[in-house]
């Protein structure tokens, strides 16, 4: 999963961090490798989790910079899945309605995430219903499992997304979410236009982006791939949001449509 939030959301909220997926383009894993760890209290730095796995943190850990300045440890155990329970109190800093991208540095619907963690996050969302919540996963089948067991968070401002970076990725499990389901072709690594056209009817939104940075092996999208996504969205009447990263691979004006209102 990418570390940065969807550009069209206002707040990035991370009650869960870490992932056991192996996406080669994962920006969050690179950030965790660079800045991960915490101070165990003996003058050293470690990413070791002294407790049981998966890790649950009831209070924030700290880490010291090379200049001796203490700051909050964003990834205290590196990229190991971690529930930051102390973050469950407030999804957003204020009471005003915000669009919140939930867990941008994790895949909270991966098989390694306990149902209890997901329920805790959903419970926090339910306690603050004034916000719009946007979820994204590479494991959309978990949505259906949670819905069948009565655990899925429902609501008019809850959006469930699936990462679709190649034609092999799954779109069908989102069908039950109707107009509050979306696809994230970010980073776009193949031509997914035909897949969106064939199985995307009823989807409420599509986001498209490209991998940033100079990682060896990075896939740069072809302009035809972007055009095919645009064409599929136009034919199906699906709002499309282009992230800034994909604009160099598109010859037209930016398309930044939001299903919940005017672009920022």
Convert the pLDDT of each residue in 189-204 to its tens digit.
999 999 999 888 889 9
Q: Report which of 263, 104, 258, 105 is spatially closest to residue 182, judged by C-alpha positions.
A: 258
Per DSSP, the residues of 96-163 read S--EEEE-TTB-TTSTTS-HHHHHHHHHHHHH-TTSEEEEEES-THHHHHHHHTT-S---TTEEEEEE
Per-residue model confidence as pLDDT tens digits over 77-92: 999 999 999 999 999 9
> What is the mean predicted confidence (pLDDT) over 57-81?
93
pTM, to two decimals: 0.93
Residue 197 burial by Cβ neighbours in a 10 Å radius (0-12, 13-18, 19+): middle
The answer to whether the bond into 247 is cis (omega within 30° of 0) is no
Q: Which of 16-20, 198-202, 217-221 has the lowest mean pLDDT?
A: 198-202
> What is the mean predicted confidence (pLDDT) over 34-54?
89
Query: Is 263's pLDDT higher than 70?
Result: no
> What is the mean predicted confidence (pLDDT) over 221-229?
97
Q: What is the 3-state secondary structure (H, E, C) of 219-258?
A: CCCCHHHHHHHHHHHHHHCCCEEECHHHHHHCCCCCCECE
Which position has the token pair 């990834």? 75
């Amino acid at each position: 999963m990418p570390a940065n939030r969807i550009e069209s959301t206002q707040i990035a909220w991370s009650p869960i961090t870490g992932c056991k997926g192996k996406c080669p383009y994962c920006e969050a894993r690179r950030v965790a490798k660079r800045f991960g760890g915490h101070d165990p209290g003996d003058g050293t730095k470690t990413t070791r989790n002294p407790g049981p796995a998966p890790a649950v943190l009831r209070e924030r850990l700290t880490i010291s910079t090379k200049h001796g300045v203490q700051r909050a440890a964003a990834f205290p155990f590196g990229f190991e899945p971690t529930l930051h329970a102390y973050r469950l109190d407030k999804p957003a800093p204020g009471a005003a309605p915000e669009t919140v991208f939930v867990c941008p540095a994790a895949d909270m619907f991966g098989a390694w995430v306990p149902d209890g963690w997901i329920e805790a996050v959903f419970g926090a969302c339910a306690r603050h219903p004034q916000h719009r919540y946007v979820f994204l996963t590479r494991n959309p089948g978990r949505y259906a499992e949670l819905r069948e067991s009565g655990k899925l968070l429902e609501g008019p401002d809850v959006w469930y997304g699936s990462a679709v970076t190649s034609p092999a990725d799954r779109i069908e499990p989102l069908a039950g979410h109707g107009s509050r389901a979306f696809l994230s072709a970010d980073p776009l690594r193949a031509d997914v236009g035909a897949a969106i056209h064939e199985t995307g009817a009823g989807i409420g939104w599509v986001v498209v982006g490209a991998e940033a940075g100079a990682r060896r092996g990075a896939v740069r999208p072809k302009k035809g791939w972007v055009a095919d996504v645009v064409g599929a969205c136009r034919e199906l009447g699906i709002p499309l949001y282009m992230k800034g990263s994909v604009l160099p691979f598109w010859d037209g004006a930016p398309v930044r449509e939001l299903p919940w209102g005017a672009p920022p």
